[in-house]
């Protein structure tokens, strides 16, 4: 999995590449753990820090410009843009999870 690209990845390219990595690199136990994780509401929040950080770093999501969408959340202003790297990585995780273990 070469992540040294000079052009930004598209959403679909990341999903396809990550699925390929899951099936080629991860052991069966980790694959099962990922695909059998319960959908917690509408997000796989437990994966935000581990897998999400990996995605944000490996696919250089922080280097892709986005327009902040500031909204109040629990008394604080938060960037809720769907293109914020944190939100993008969760959307990618969710899409890979939704496609399931079938290749």
User: In this predicted model, what pLDDT tens digit does every residue of 35-78 receive, in sequence order?
Assistant: 988 776 656 788 889 999 999 999 999 998 999 999 998 999 99
2 assigned to some structural domain: no
pLDDT reading at 103 higher than 70: no
Helix extents (H) in 11-84? 11-24, 28-35, 51-58
41 assigned to some structural domain: yes
45 assigned to some structural domain: yes
At 7, the pLDDT band (50, 70, 90 cuts) reads: confident
What tokens does 66 get? 């986005």
Domain region containing 52: 11-99
Task: Please give the residue that has the higher pLDDT: either 40 or 10.
Answer: 10
**What is this structure's pTM?**
0.86
Our count of domains for the chain comes to 1
């Amino acid at each position: 999995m070469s992540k040294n690209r000079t052009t930004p990845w598209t959403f679909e390219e990341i999903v396809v590449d990550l699925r390929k990595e899951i099936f080629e690199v991860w052991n069966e136990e980790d694959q099962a753990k990922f695909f059998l994780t319960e959908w917690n509401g509408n997000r796989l929040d437990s994966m935000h820090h581990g897998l999400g950080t990996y995605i944000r770093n490996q696919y250089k999501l922080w280097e892709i410009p986005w327009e902040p969408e500031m909204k109040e959340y629990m008394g604080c202003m938060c960037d809720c843009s769907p293109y914020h790297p944190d939100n993008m990585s969760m959307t990618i995780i969710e899409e890979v999870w939704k496609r399931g273990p079938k290749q």
